[in-house]
Amino acid sequence: MTTPPPPESTADSGPGEALRRAIRALPAERTPPADSWAQVQQAMLAAPRDSDAEQPSQRVRTNRRTVRVAMLGMAALLAVVLVSSISRTRRSAGVDPASVLLPEERRDPRVRAVLDETRNWRAASTDSLRSIRWPLEARDAIESALVATETALASARSAVRLDPDDAAARDAIVVLRAKQLLLLQRAMTLLDEI
Amino acid sequence: MRRALELLRSIACLVALVALGTSVLRAQAPTIARGWRVAPAASIKIHAPSGVLEVVGWGRDSVAISGTLAAGETLFGGGSLTGLKLGAEGTATAGQSRLLVRVPIGSRLVVRSGAANVKVRGVTGSVDVGSAAGDVDVSGELESVTVESISGDVHVAATTPSVRARTTRGRLDIAGRIDEAQLTSVSGPVTVSAQPIGRMRIETVDGRVSVRGRLAAAGSLDIETFGGPVHLKFPVDQRAALDLRASGGDIIGRIAVPAGGASFDLGTAVVRNGTTATLSRSIGGGTGAAPPVTVRTFRGRVTVDAFRPRS
């Protein structure tokens, strides 16, 4: 058995002063006397636990950094989840659609008709008796079409807000709304026929 | 050697089992064959909830249905000499229906399908097909064609005075000699390769529009999209009065000059006002009024190209 060389005392070394003293007290022989190791063990046990906190090792610092980064990541993830869930909740809770409409849209009877038809569509889709034979692909296509037209409407609306004289954007809003209405009416007629 | 023989024997057993299973399944699918007497121009309505439905015109004054039905579906049918209603009903629990319906050539046909793919050919009367999720394919010389599919693709290759076709996200593929057409989609692409193109109106929200062919002298082309790009391809000697507007998009392409000489970069004739690009210009030679081509798109790009027709 060879005697391990005494560890060099560095600013980062974990054990406390008592341990360092005990190590220094070890004789420079190849095999130390039995009580020397007992002294080292006692000193290690007696070494204060908070010495790491006072002089953290490189490994401890790395671990702490990792934990910190992970916590930051978790916080960011939590924020994203929270924001998306809030927006989802708002959507599902049914933010008043009128709040996003342009003033002329609020006066357009087609908008009311589309909202009514959308409500009818949702009610019909969840009516298992009525919609039992409606293929899922068709339902999905209608939902996608509603999303596509709403996205287009939002785009046209923002164009009008940027330039109130944008006649093309205003025309597009009227046309898209009419398309939505026709889409819902045709889809339900066709689906009820099958 | 023995190992190879064992392997061969195992494969043979497996093939035999699969063949047996398939034949058993086939045997279980109810086979149908039924007929009705009708007038040559009778109105016939066919229902097909799922599977495949093929409707073929024939030179007899009767309707015949044959094929197999999916488990859970049953055949129904009845009516008079002038009107007949038939098809499958019920909900398929296993397998697929495969139906062939023969109808008088001149009958007026109405088909309603849930998820069944529908194919119609050899009929000269009017055809009206509505499908929720199936693909629809109509071909022949027809009095008129009306096709609607919510999520399926629509393919029409016909010689007909009138086509009305509509999809939500399915593909619209129209070819043939068509006098007048109205094609509508939400996000499905619309492709026209009619020869010649008569009076045609195409509307889509986000679908790509491609039109290739000669516009008839008395024809017109009217296209409206929100974000869908538009690609027009005319013969080099096409006469047309272009009226194109891309509000947030662009207009590009190369066309023949009126004198019929070298091609001309369309972009140089485009007038830009803010984000709106417009172009009003006649192309091709000749005198008199040229057929109008009107394109309105809000976000899409308009491309006009020329092709050299095969002689």
A11 pLDDT above the threshold of 50: no
Q: What pLDDT shows up at residue B38? A: 95
Q: What pLDDT shows up at residue A80? A: 54
B192 pLDDT above the threshold of 60: yes
Question: In sequence order, which residues have a C-beta less than 8 Å from that of residue A71 and are 6 or more positions away?
Answer: none
Q: What pLDDT shows up at residue B72? A: 85
Question: In this predicted structure, which of A32-36, A125-129, B153-157, B179-183 has the lowest mean pLDDT?
Answer: A32-36
- Judge whether B296 is closer than 8 Å to chain A, CB to CB: yes
Q: What pLDDT shows up at residue B265? A: 78
Question: What are the tokens at B148?
Answer: 């609607």
The pTM of this model reads 0.73
Q: How confident is the model at residue B30 (pLDDT cuts 50, 70, 90)?
A: confident
- Nearest residue in chain B measured CA to CA from A167: B247
A152 contacts on B by Cβ (under 8 Å): 205-206, 226-227, 298
Q: What pLDDT shows up at residue B9? A: 75
Q: How confident is the model at residue A50 (pLDDT cuts 50, 70, 90)?
A: very low
A7 pLDDT above the threshold of 50: no
Which secondary-structure segment (H or E) carries B164?
A: strand B154-167
Q: What pLDDT shows up at residue B112? A: 95
Question: In this predicted structure, which of A68-82, B169-183, B244-258 has the lowest mean pLDDT?
Answer: A68-82
Distance from CA of B89 to the nearest CA of A (A): 9
Question: In sequence order, which residues have a C-beta less than 8 Å from that of residue B170 and are 6 or more positions away?
Answer: A141, B135, B149, B150, B151, B152, B153, B154, B185, B188
Residue, of A129 and B92, whose pLDDT is higher: A129
* A186:B133 CB<8 A: no
* B226:A193 CB<8 A: no
Q: What pLDDT shows up at residue B61? A: 93
From the list A136, A176, A194, the residue facing B226 with the nearest CB is A176
pLDDT mean over B101-116: 95
Residues B40-98: pLDDT tens digits?
999 999 999 999 999 999 999 999 999 999 888 899 999 999 999 999 988 877 888 99
CA distance B254 to B271: 16
What percentage of chain B has pLDDT greater than the value 90? 63
Q: How confident is the model at residue B276 (pLDDT cuts 50, 70, 90)?
A: confident
Q: What pLDDT shows up at residue B207? A: 93
Residues B111-141: pLDDT tens digits?
999 999 999 999 999 999 999 999 999 999 9
Residue, of A16 and A178, whose pLDDT is higher: A178
* A159:B169 CB<8 A: no
From the list B49, B205, B276, the residue facing A176 with the nearest CB is B205
- Judge whether A169 is closer than 8 Å to chain B, CB to CB: yes
Q: What pLDDT shows up at residue A1? A: 43
Distance from CA of B206 to the nearest CA of A (A): 8
A192 contacts on B by Cβ (under 8 Å): none
B99 pLDDT above the threshold of 60: yes
Residues B137-189: pLDDT tens digits?
999 999 999 999 999 999 999 999 999 999 999 999 999 999 999 999 999 99
B150 contacts on A by Cβ (under 8 Å): 137-138, 141-142, 187, 190-191
CA distance B114 to A73: 48
Q: What pLDDT shows up at residue B166? A: 95
β-bridge partners, B235: B307
Distance from CA of B132 to the nearest CA of A (A): 6
Q: Report CA-CA distances (Å) from A150 to A179, B205, B277, B286.
A: 11, 11, 25, 45
* A187:B168 CB<8 A: yes
B27 pLDDT above the threshold of 60: no
Question: In sequence order, which residues have a C-beta less than 8 Å from that of residue B78 and are 6 or more positions away?
Answer: B36, B84, B85, B86
B3 pLDDT above the threshold of 90: no
* Chain A interface, best mutation among B97, B150, B297, by max A CB count within 10 A: B150
In degrees rounded to 5, what are phi and psi of residue B193?
-135, 55
CA distance B40 to B174: 28
Q: How confident is the model at residue A45 (pLDDT cuts 50, 70, 90)?
A: low
Q: What pLDDT shows up at residue B63? A: 96
From the list B186, B205, B298, the residue facing A168 with the nearest CB is B298
From the list A133, A137, A176, the residue facing B151 with the nearest CB is A137
Closest by CA to A190, choosing from B188, B130, B127, B91, is: B130
Question: In this predicted structure, which of A48-52, A122-126, A186-190, B69-73 has the lowest mean pLDDT?
Answer: A48-52
Contact B242, B279 (CB under 8 A): yes
Q: What pLDDT shows up at residue B113? A: 93
B24 pLDDT above the threshold of 80: no
- Judge whether A141 is closer than 8 Å to chain B, CB to CB: yes
- Mean pLDDT (chain B) is 87
Residues B215-240: pLDDT tens digits?
998 999 999 999 999 999 998 888 88
Residue, of B111 and A47, whose pLDDT is higher: B111
- Judge whether A44 is closer than 8 Å to chain B, CB to CB: no
Q: What CA dihedral angle connects A127, A128, A134 and A138, to 10 degrees?
A: 60
Question: In this predicted structure, which of A106-110, B25-29, B32-36, B117-121 has the lowest mean pLDDT?
Answer: B25-29
